[in-house]
């Protein structure tokens, strides 16, 4: 039976990991896979999370299942992070929620829930979008189309073209939006853009599906969800997928959540049974460990203060690296305008160079990035900025 299946090509982004590892060049730079790294190139455990882990280890007395919804404290904490602790939507109990195996699990459960809705529905994703969005959603059996988003000439959002497409959508459409720190471009919607998206959604009836995986790594925990919260107040229904991989550093713990905003408390109760049923058919119970850690951090004032301070320092470091890279590019006398680097948000940026130039950076200078020229800014450090800028000048 299995001899009918052939080997698949390696994932182009994940394949960079082994290529970088095997490269003997001491100057090599890994700007590929999207994980946060410190100045030494290490993805350390956040101090507040480390303390929560020790506390959990000392108090945990069972490994039994936690239930289909996940860790209750984690769910409440994430709801408040996204919607705000004083949200009328939370007070009215209009949110169905479930802990999931990472943001990917949330996206997949959300897609499976959409599939249960009667009628031919279409999920619209930005052009470009995170590489795994389309496989996760399409494999659930949903139709996918793209809406205009990124302007390669400016490195910013082409909101005019995006809005023109949104104006044509209706109740059979679901629009996937990046809550902040757009992956892969780093180009974010302005608050005014969010207001217009909310107006379109309210008027036309399409359902927003927000993927927020980087809250706190852009302008701040509250600032990064300002647009999402505005949108939530203006529409009746919305889907939100969250991830704790980046802002809590829980990459390998696969900790995420799916939040479904409904029209009423009664609908939320009904949808709660649906998403738990979807989860049961896919993975049964979500991993508990990461949820326990997030709950401990968010519910303990001391740990939360420490976590917020460390997260803020990570965000500031990424902004500093953006500024440092732009400065080095300008010092090299490169004529091409790269000023968009400091205007974009979060860990990622599109350099706007060709695939051939990307390949030269890898083969001649051991600088690794996606073929699209998406770079993980958090993979830089102050020691390699000049080398990266010099190498970029050489291939332009």
Reported as a single tens digit per residue, the pLDDT across 140-163 is 999 999 999 999 999 999 999 999
Domain annotation covers residue 142: yes
Domain limit, last residue, from 272, 301, 330? 301
Q: What is the pLDDT of residue 16?
A: 86
**In angstroms, rounded to a whole number, what is the distance separating the alpha carbons of residues 164 and 62?**
54
Residues 24 and 159 occupy one common structural domain: no
Domain limit, last residue, from 267, 301, 335? 301
Asked if residue 314 has pLDDT above 90, the reply is: yes
Asked if residue 61 has pLDDT above 80, the reply is: yes
pTM comes to 0.95
Catalytic residue of the set 246, 295, 345, 362: 246
- Residue 295 designated active-site: no
Residues 285 and 319 occupy one common structural domain: no
Q: What are 325-349's pLDDT values in tens digits? A: 999 999 999 999 999 999 999 999 9
Q: What are 210-258's pLDDT values in tens digits? A: 999 999 999 999 999 999 999 999 999 999 999 999 999 999 999 999 9
Catalytic residue of the set 30, 124, 130, 307: 130
Residues 231 and 313 occupy one common structural domain: no
Residues 221 and 322 occupy one common structural domain: no
Domain limit, last residue, from 237, 270, 301? 301
Residues 186 and 70 occupy one common structural domain: yes
Domain annotation covers residue 2: no
**In angstroms, rounded to a whole number, what is the distance separating the alpha carbons of residues 56 and 217?**
26
Domain annotation covers residue 378: yes
CATH of the domain at 328: 3.90.1150.10
Q: What is the pLDDT of residue 151?
A: 95
Domain annotation covers residue 341: yes
CATH of the domain at 193: 3.40.640.10
**Average pLDDT rounded to a whole number, residues 302-310:** 98
Residues 250 and 144 occupy one common structural domain: yes
Residues 140 and 165 occupy one common structural domain: yes
Kindly tell me the sign of the dihedral angle through the C-alpha atoms of 229, 192, 241, 59: negative
What proportion of the chain, given as a percentage, has pLDDT over 90?
95
Partnered with residue 175 across adjacent β-strands are 124, 208
pLDDT, the chain, mean: 96
Residues 19 and 161 occupy one common structural domain: no
Catalytic residue of the set 211, 224, 295, 345: 211
Domain count, the chain: 2
Structural domain of 237: 51-301
Domain annotation covers residue 385: yes
Residues 224 and 129 occupy one common structural domain: yes
Which of 38-42, 105-109, 281-285: highest mean pLDDT? 105-109
CA proximity to 79, closest of 279, 282, 260, 318 = 260
Domain annotation covers residue 198: yes
Residues 18 and 74 occupy one common structural domain: no
Q: What is the pLDDT of residue 13?
A: 77
Residues 215 and 250 occupy one common structural domain: yes
Query: Could you tell me which residue, 293 or 17, shows the higher pLDDT?
Result: 293
Domain annotation covers residue 1: no
- Residue 3 designated active-site: no
**In angstroms, rounded to a whole number, what is the distance separating the alpha carbons of residues 186 and 340?**
9
Q: What is the pLDDT of residue 10?
A: 78
Q: What is the pLDDT of residue 18?
A: 86
**In angstroms, rounded to a whole number, what is the distance separating the alpha carbons of residues 225 and 217?**
11
Residues 126 and 28 occupy one common structural domain: no
Domain annotation covers residue 187: yes
CB 103 within 8 A of CB 261: no
What proportion of the chain, given as a percentage, has pLDDT over 70?
100
- Residue 61 designated active-site: no
Lowest pLDDT segment from 11-20, 107-116, 180-189, 366-375: 11-20
């Amino acid at each position: 039976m299995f001899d009918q299946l052939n080997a698949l090509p390696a994932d182009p982004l994940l394949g960079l990991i082994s290529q970088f590892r095997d490269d003997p060049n001491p100057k090599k730079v890994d700007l590929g896979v999207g994980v946060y790294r410190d100045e030494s190139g290490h993805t350390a455990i956040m101090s507040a999370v480390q303390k929560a882990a020790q506390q959990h280890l000392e108090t945990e007395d069972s490994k039994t299942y936690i239930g289909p919804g996940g860790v209750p404290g984690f769910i409440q904490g994430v709801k408040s992070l996204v919607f705000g602790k004083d949200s009328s939507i939370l007070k009215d109990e209009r949110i169905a929620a479930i802990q999931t195996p990472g943001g990917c699990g949330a996206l997949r459960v959300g897609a499976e829930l959409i599939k249960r809705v009667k009628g031919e529905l279409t999920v619209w994703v930005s052009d470009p979008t995170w590489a795994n969005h389309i496989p996760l959603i399409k494999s659930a059996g949903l139709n996918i189309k793209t809406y205009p988003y990124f302007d390669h000439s400016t490195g910013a959002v082409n909101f005019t073209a995006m809005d023109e497409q949104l104006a044509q959508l209706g109740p059979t459409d679901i629009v996937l939006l990046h809550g902040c720190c757009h992956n892969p471009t780093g180009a974010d919607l302005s608050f005014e853009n969010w207001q217009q998206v909310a107006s379109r959604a309210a008027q036309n009836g399409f359902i927003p599906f927000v993927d927020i995986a980087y809250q706190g790594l852009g302008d701040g925990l509250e600032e990064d969800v300002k647009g999402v919260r505005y949108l939530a107040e203006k529409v009746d229904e919305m889907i939100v997928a969250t991830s704790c991989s980046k802002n809590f550093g829980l990459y390998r713990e696969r900790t995420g959540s799916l939040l479904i905003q409904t029209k009423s408390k009664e609908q939320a109760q009904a949808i709660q049974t649906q998403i738990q049923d979807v989860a049961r058919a896919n993975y049964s119970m979500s991993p508990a460990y990461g949820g326990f850690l997030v709950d401990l951090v968010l519910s303990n004032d001391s740990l939360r203060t420490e976590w917020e301070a460390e997260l803020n320092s990570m965000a500031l470091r990424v902004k500093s690296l953006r500024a440092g890279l732009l400065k080095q590019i300008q010092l090299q006398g490169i004529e091409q305008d790269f000023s968009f680097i400091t205007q974009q948000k979060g860990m990622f940026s599109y350099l706007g160079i060709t695939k051939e130039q990307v390949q030269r950076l890898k083969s001649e200078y051991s600088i690794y990035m996606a073929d699209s020229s998406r770079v993980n800014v958090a993979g830089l450090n102050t020691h390699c900025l000049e080398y990266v800028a010099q190498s970029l000048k050489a291939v332009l």
